[in-house]
Chain A
């Protein structure tokens, strides 16, 4: 029997106080995610239980009990406090998937500071805009990533401390850099900062269509949603070995890669290495993983690696598989059932929602390709794009809409209240996606309602890439759209016009690709650059991305009455 039991019964009787009671939280009292993820589990008598089983590409292993998580997060919290950092200051985590990243987040939250995790593959410009916008006070990083920070430090007056967790004691530390070793000292006791339900906890950056990235601000009360969704959707129980493959630079990696599993006291494992089917299957076999939360791009890559390799490993411990990040194609569901004897359960949510919103629950009939049904307590529907009134007929495409009020909902966009308010229409929160609902109440994803590119489950802003392209010496104008991709669903494609004196060449294309990879990230790197004489524009001079998008996807171009005449 799964944790959720009957979905229909849960929907009927639902109240978020179910989670509050299980967590022992009463309205108005202190609620601190850092404490719930470590001290509380120890107080429950599980201090010796394994919290983290970690391995890297080189085969190095580390193991941490819940008591270790408690003590080392205290050590980090104490260190930050001694540097003078206070509650609500932003502390960035900019690391590979090493233990300091996971335990560091817990430590930051314990002093009431706001954790700002950023994907370690970001280039210096992507890093800069996010640190500048957040007014970040400190960054915890590794030597190799500190090199990117050094390039931008002069433009970040608010950044006071660059904390390096793997300093070798030999190389010279530069301005504002300080070495720190998490395991050099064990701080047994720490005075917890008394955060309340609405105290800010995390700041995750997500891409916008027309502006710079937006800082999605969450609060400590988000724990209530994250805890219960993990229990009912991921079906986490005390005896499980859980593996979330997401990087904590993105929201899945924090909500369900740190907060929820540790608040539930489960043993989780982390593999800090690049992708290979063999390495992943070996990891599942070695750690006897039972619950596996992954992403469609990874699943499609495993499919590509073939069925034969699956049979080389004992994966019989697996009991429940879940997917998130982008729509899970029906073939992947059918394939996983064939090779693992278990279907992947698609789940849908986003950085702003903080927790799973629509999903295929354990025990529920899966319709391959469907997103499933709303989580109990979530009022989800489709609204008409023109009026934002709910659509009542099945099969009609509309905008996904949620009634605000669930615990993990973002509270604002950092220093951007206006854009935050713009996400609500007619009393609904609109995540920016289109879908249809069938006669049985299942949601079916159709696509984004804007120009944002979803590549391998990560959102890339065309605006950000276009702006960076203009800094390349050869590029005069640029337009960025998605193009279809078998593995990643979508990838970035750039259309560029060249400045006088530059000639079209393959070498130039490679130069442009690498320029963006280093400046922004490999995700944002155009996988194709097409040279054009001019870009389609409206009479007011705005680039008509949708014409280029339609060309890439073989769609109707639509209304071009506003197209500028040459």
Chain B
């Protein structure tokens, strides 16, 4: 699980981070304005490509993508 979270965190920091924001497992990504609803599509695509899964649109809600911890929980549901 930690590996999974680390991989997601690394991607989020690289793609959406900036020098002013320390992004942690708990950081609010969507409601905090770091990742908007359009960018969420590429984040979802990253997870699908990386973990060879398909996340249905109804599961890809802003709430489910609002932190690395929540994303990891979501991904875990589909890879287990």
Q: Determine how close the nearest CB of chain A comes to the CB of B11; give it in whole angstroms.
A: 10
- Binary per-residue interface labels of chain B (30-48) against chain A in the complex, 1 for a CB within 8 Å, 0 otherwise: 1111111111011001101
Given known A-B contacts A525-B38, A525-B39, A273 and B49 have beta carbons under 8 A apart: no
Rounded to whole Å, the gap between the CB of B32 and the closest CB of chain A is 4
A513 touches B45 (CB 8 A): yes
- Residues of A participating in the B interface, judged by any CB pair closer than 8 Å: 57-58, 96, 121, 143-144, 147, 272-276, 279, 301, 304, 455-456, 487-488, 491, 506-507, 509-510, 513-514, 517, 522-523, 525, 527
Q: Which B residues are within 8 Å of any A CB, using their own CB?
A: 15, 18-21, 28-39, 41-42, 45-46, 48-49, 61-63, 66
- The residue that B35 contacts in the complex, of A96, A272, A274, with Cβ under 8 A, is A274
Q: In angstroms, how far is the closest chain B Cβ from the Cβ of A515? A: 10
User: What is the interface of chain B mostly: helix, strand, loop, or mixed?
Assistant: loop
Which residue from A276, A491, A510, A517 sits with its C-beta under 8 Å from B62?
A276
B42 touches A510 (CB 8 A): yes
A301 vs B36: C-alpha distance in the bound complex, in angstroms?
A: 13
Question: How many Å lie between the Cα of A96 and that of B18 in the bound state?
Answer: 14
Contact of B31 among A144, A276, A304, A488 (CB under 8 A): A276
Complex: A502 Cα to B49 Cα, angstroms = 18
In the assembled complex, how far is the CB of residue B76 from the closest CB belonging to chain A, in whole angstroms? Answer: 21
Please state if B31 and A522 are interface contacts (CB–CB under 8 Å). Answer: no
In the assembled complex, which residues on chain A have CB atoms less than 8 Å from the CB atom of B46? 510
A11 smallest CB distance to B (angstroms): 39
Would you give the shortest CB distance from B77 to chain A, in whole angstroms? 20
Q: Give the nearest-CB partner of A509 in chain B.
A: B45
Question: What CA separation (Å) do A513 and B46 show in the bound complex?
Answer: 10
Contacts of B28 in A (CB 8 A): 57, 274
| Closest beta carbon of chain A to B44's beta carbon, Å | 10
Q: Which of A279, A514, A523 contacts B42 (CB 8 A)?
A: A514
A276 with B30: CB separation less than 8 A: yes
With A274-B31, A275-B30, A510-B49 in contact, is A147–B62 under 8 Å at CB?
Answer: no
A-B contact count (CB 8 A): 78
> Once bound together, how far apart are the Cα atoms of A58 and B33, in whole Å?
10
Q: Would you list 25 pairs from A and B whose C-beta atoms are within 8 A, ordered by A residue?
A: A57-B28, A57-B32, A58-B32, A121-B36, A143-B20, A144-B18, A272-B33, A273-B31, A274-B29, A274-B32, A274-B34, A275-B37, A276-B31, A276-B66, A301-B37, A487-B37, A488-B37, A510-B46, A510-B49, A513-B45, A514-B15, A517-B39, A522-B38, A522-B39, A527-B38
In angstroms, Cα B21 to Cα A539, docked, is 52
Q: Which residues of A contact B34 (CB under 8 A)?
A: 274
Q: Which listed residue (A96, A301, A304) contacts B33, Cβ 8 A?
A: A96
Closest to B30 in A: A274
CB-based closest 7 A-B pairs: A522-B38, A274-B33, A57-B32, A144-B18, A522-B39, A276-B31, A506-B49
Q: How many Å from the CB of B15 to the closest CB on chain A?
A: 6
Q: Which chain B residue lies CB-closest to A492?
A: B38
Closest A residue to B36 using CB positions? A522
Say whether B18 contacts A525, CB under 8 Å: no
Please indicate the chain A residues that have their CB under 8 angstroms from the CB of B48 in the complex.
506
In the complex, A527→B36 CA distance in Å?
13
A273 to B49, CA, bound (A): 29
Per the bound structure, the CA–CA distance linking A309 and B38 in Å amounts to 23
- Cα-based distance from A121 to B15 in the complex (angstroms): 13
Distance in angstroms from B52 CB to nearest chain A CB is: 9
CB < 8 Å neighbour of A523 from B15, B29, B38 = B38
Residues of B within 8 A of A487 (CB): 37
> With A and B bound together, what is the CA distance between A487 and B34 in angstroms?
20
Closest chain A CB from B43 CB (angstroms): 10
Partner of A57, one of B15, B31, B39, B41: B31
**Which B residues lie within 8 Å of A96 (CB)?**
33
Q: How far is the CA of A444 from the CA of B76 in the complex (A)?
A: 46
- In the assembled complex, the CB of A75 is this many whole angstroms from the nearest CB of chain B, namely 24
Per a CB cutoff under 8 Å, which of A276, A525, A527 touches B63?
Answer: A276
CB-CB < 8 A to A525: which residues of B? 38-39, 41-42
State A279–B63 Cα separation when bound (angstroms).
Answer: 11
CB distance from B17 to the nearest CB of A (A): 10
Structural contact, A144 and B19, CB atoms closer than 8 A: yes
What residues of chain A lie closer than 8 Å to B62, measured between beta carbons? 274-276, 301
Given A121, A143, A527, which contacts B41 in the complex, CB threshold below 8 Å? A527
For A147, give its contact among B15, B18, B29, B61 (CB under 8 Å).
B18
Q: How far is the CB of B54 from chain A (nearest CB, A)?
A: 11
Residue of B34, B42, B48 with most chain A CB atoms under a 10 A cut-off: B42
A509 CB contacts on chain B under 8 angstroms: 45
Chain A positions within 8 Å of B63 at CB level? 276
Task: Name the B residues within 8 Å of A147 (CB-CB).
Answer: 18-19
Q: A144-B20, A513-B41 are in contact. List 19 more A-B contacts (CB 8 A).
A: A57-B32, A57-B33, A273-B33, A274-B28, A274-B36, A275-B30, A275-B31, A275-B37, A275-B62, A301-B37, A304-B61, A455-B38, A506-B48, A506-B49, A513-B42, A514-B42, A517-B38, A517-B42, A525-B38
